[in-house]
Structure 1
Amino acid sequence: MAFSRTLSVVGCHAGGEVGDVITGGVLDVPGNTMYDKLVHFLNEKDNIRQLLLNEPRGRCSMNTNLILPPCDPRADAGFLIMESEEYAPMSGSNTICTATVLLETGMVPMKEPITQLTLDTAAGLVTVEAECEAGKCKSVAFDNVPAFVFELDYQVLVPGLGEVSVDIAWGGMMYVLVDAASVGLKVESRYSTQLVEIGERIKRAVQASYTPVHPENPKIKGVSILAFTESLVEENGCKAAVNTVVVSPGRFDRSPCGTGTCARLAVLHARGQLVEGEVFKHRSIIGTEFTSHIRGTTQVGGYQAVLPTVAGRAWITSFKQVVLDSSDPFPEGFRVGDQWRMAPSSLV
């Protein structure tokens, strides 16, 4: 059989969110930074993302991470995050998956009980501390890039809903955060259809009216993701809350979402609801949990920012060789609207 492409992939999930990791079959590309490499893959090699994430090899509720040599000499490895609609500058669940794969496969030496490593991402350097035992990562905590708020209580006119109040924040991706109760919803699976449909509608309305620009990398701009939040509760001496992140083209992040947690830490701190060092437990729509805290504050451009740390766990699910037969009629896969929530003109 003639294969035009063969890729080695380690299957993995963190908190339920699939974050497979490509460990072989893709060469490095030019770029002085990981963001440069992100742009190169977007413009020149996006067929790899399409092949792995589209059907029949992929599905809408998954991500794939690509390990590359780091651009920053302080890093142990670099990686890019491929999602259905974009290359995310940073992702918490994908960081946890990638660190777990690097350590449990021996690509980076594991040291028990604690392994420290640094990852080079398109958003900047991220340091990781993994709690390890008997060759397994029992917990992975990462010190994310600074998170900060662009807008609190931004009023946006949403077709069919009227005026909706949202927060806009950076946590490694550009987030719109919406109190689910403010639009008559709860973060529960029985409201899934409404959460996805209304979430996408609110996000599009924000995109049409407000464009946040990262002050240190103006090429990173515009919101691309939305989180529905529920109120804080006091729980065993710390604070906790449920959220769900709506990822385009219209599905939930199965995990509590790492960058979404960081964006929420920035919002909670800006509102005076969470102080440095206070533990915040963030839960997903399926009940999985990330633990987080603010380890300090800083300044990013003209914005007051927090330094977030998030911890979770990932599990390897498979080792696979993904191939493309040279006669396959779908070299970049396909999407169908029953799963991908696409406009009628885009259906296959």
Structure 2
Amino acid sequence: MTTANSLEILLVHCQGESGNVLVSGAPELPGATVLEKMNFLNHVDNSLRLFLTREPRAQVVQTTNLLLPPSRPDADAGFIVLQPDMAHPMSGSNCICVVTALLETGRVKMTEPETIVRLDTAAGLIVARARCVGGRCISVSLDNVPAFVVSLDAAIETPKWGTIQADIAFGGVFYAQIDVDQVGLRIVPEAARALAEAGTEIKALLKNQIDVEHPDIPSLNEIAYVMFRERHDDGTITTCTTLKPGRVDRSPCGTGSSANLAILHARGQLKTGDKRISRSIIGGTFTAEMLGETTVGGRPAVLPRITGQGYVFGRQELRLDPHDPFATGFALSDTWGPQVGEL
């Protein structure tokens, strides 16, 4: 990875989850589509991702979204989610951050009271409806890609907790969603470290027990995250998505909330027009709505809409010194977690 200029990054968060946006200075990536560019980052040259997502330029809680020109004529921009473990095709909180950054910096013209922004992602086209007041992006509603269930109550064998059950579903990426009481924990801030370790341990076990593949995008063929959940009598859900090598999502998780809608629909607990509130470990909320039904590769699927808010809070400029011994960064287990050696 070489950069002729400095990298300009907008600092953004969505309900507390970092979703910085790299808006200029990145090298051009090979590939005709956003999916091909993501696969290049994951399978050919990961140096840009490592430069942006590891110390000393980043911490474990940071994500950087690589802004790209769209590869399809019906989109305003494209983006790829860069995290310490890999480049991911889609993220709800990060998508909200990208839309907020595009509008509040004028990269996409803001129209009040609503601006529609179409985003090209490796998972498909995302249509965002941003509510805008006084030059600010007040909220963003994402019409996400179709979400569908792979299996309900899949049995996962674990050395620590015995056999546990997980719902496997796609909401932009693949999830294993697990009722948190199966691992003897609650989704509360003081349990964050234990939840992160449990989630990364289970994710490692899934690799040899559960196979997934998107029927229309075969290269999306891995469970990206373990999401713990607590369901409540009023229909709300508290979520805790765990991210490799060992941390928890600060937001309520948009793609996970989309996958949850598909799970509820498959169980006969959700119909078109129904809404659910997803609440994060720190109390932030998303509204998840089922817009309709469709199919993906012959599977029943739902059309999710996720609504939340992002905040631009600063700007950063990075440059690569050719003499820097840590050009691809580093990560230590004291803060990065138990699976840091697998990055």
- Same fold by TM-score greater than 0.5: yes
Paired letter, 2:32: N
Counterpart CA distance in 2 for 1:41 and 1:312 is 29
Quote the residue 1:72 is aligned against: 72
Question: Secondary structure in 2 aligned to 1:216?
Answer: coil
Are 1:316 and 2:309 matched, yes or no? no
- Residues 303-334 of structure 1 show CA distances to partners (whole Å, capped at 9, x for unaligned) of 11000000100001111111222222211111
Checking the alignment, whether the CA contact within 8 Å between 1:336 and 1:342 is kept in structure 2 is no
Change (3 A) 1:109 1:54: same
- Residues 125-176 of structure 1 show CA distances to partners (whole Å, capped at 9, x for unaligned) of 0001000011100000110000000010011111121100111000011100
**2:242 maps to which of 242, 246, 250:** 246
RMSD: 1.6
Shift of 1:292: 1.2
Paired letter, 2:316: K
Change (3 A) 1:343 1:105: closer
**2:254 maps to which of 258, 263, 271:** 258
- The aligned runs of 1:105-254 (5 Å cut-off) are 105-234=105-234, 239-254=235-250
Paired letter, 1:291: T
Checking the alignment, whether the CA contact within 8 Å between 1:28 and 1:68 is kept in structure 2 is no
Are 1:272 and 2:268 matched, yes or no? yes
Paired letter, 1:325: D
Counterpart CA distance in 1 for 2:311 and 2:342 is 35
Q: TM-score normalised to the size of structure 2?
A: 0.96
Paired letter, 1:264: N
Shift of 1:204: 1.9
Checking the alignment, whether the CA contact within 8 Å between 1:233 and 1:241 is kept in structure 2 is no
Q: What runs of 5+ residues in structure 2 fail to find an aligned partner?
A: none
Question: Secondary structure in 1 aligned to 2:95?
Answer: helix
Change (3 A) 1:240 1:43: same
Worse-superposed segment, 40-49 or 219-228: 40-49
Quote the residue 2:11 is aligned against: 11
Shift of 1:255: 0.3
Counterpart CA distance in 1 for 2:339 and 2:308 is 35
Checking the alignment, whether the CA contact within 8 Å between 1:256 and 1:284 is kept in structure 2 is yes
Quote the residue 1:293 is aligned against: 289
Question: Secondary structure in 2 aligned to 1:280?
Answer: strand
Paired letter, 2:65: N
Counterpart CA distance in 2 for 1:147 and 1:28 is 31
Checking the alignment, whether the CA contact within 8 Å between 2:161 and 2:182 is kept in structure 1 is no
Counterpart CA distance in 2 for 1:342 and 1:332 is 20
Worse-superposed segment, 224-233 or 14-23: 224-233
- The aligned runs of 1:43-62 (5 Å cut-off) are 43-62=43-62
Worse-superposed segment, 193-202 or 242-251: 193-202
Question: Secondary structure in 1 aligned to 2:63?
Answer: strand
Shift of 1:342: 4.0
Checking the alignment, whether the CA contact within 8 Å between 1:4 and 1:324 is kept in structure 2 is no
Paired letter, 1:199: G
Change (3 A) 1:75 1:138: same
Quote the residue 2:99 is aligned against: 99
Question: Secondary structure in 2 aligned to 1:31?
Answer: coil
Shift of 1:5: 5.5
Quote the residue 2:31 is aligned against: 31
Shift of 1:120: 0.2
Checking the alignment, whether the CA contact within 8 Å between 1:5 and 1:325 is kept in structure 2 is no
Paired letter, 2:111: K
Checking the alignment, whether the CA contact within 8 Å between 1:148 and 1:304 is kept in structure 2 is yes
Paired letter, 2:208: A
Are 1:327 and 2:323 matched, yes or no? yes
Question: Secondary structure in 1 aligned to 2:125?
Answer: strand
- Residues 64-87 of structure 1 show CA distances to partners (whole Å, capped at 9, x for unaligned) of 011111111000111111111111
Counterpart CA distance in 2 for 1:170 and 1:285 is 22
Shift of 1:4: 6.7
Quote the residue 1:282 is aligned against: 278
Counterpart CA distance in 2 for 1:198 and 1:262 is 23
Shift of 1:343: 5.1
Quote the residue 2:40 is aligned against: 40
Checking the alignment, whether the CA contact within 8 Å between 2:130 and 2:141 is kept in structure 1 is yes
Checking the alignment, whether the CA contact within 8 Å between 2:52 and 2:58 is kept in structure 1 is yes
Checking the alignment, whether the CA contact within 8 Å between 2:168 and 2:175 is kept in structure 1 is yes
Shift of 1:272: 1.5
Question: Secondary structure in 1 aligned to 2:97?
Answer: helix
Worse-superposed segment, 142-151 or 323-332: 323-332
- Residues 196-255 of structure 1 show CA distances to partners (whole Å, capped at 9, x for unaligned) of 222222222222111111000111102120100001331xxxx31211100110100100
Shift of 1:29: 2.6
Shift of 1:6: 1.5
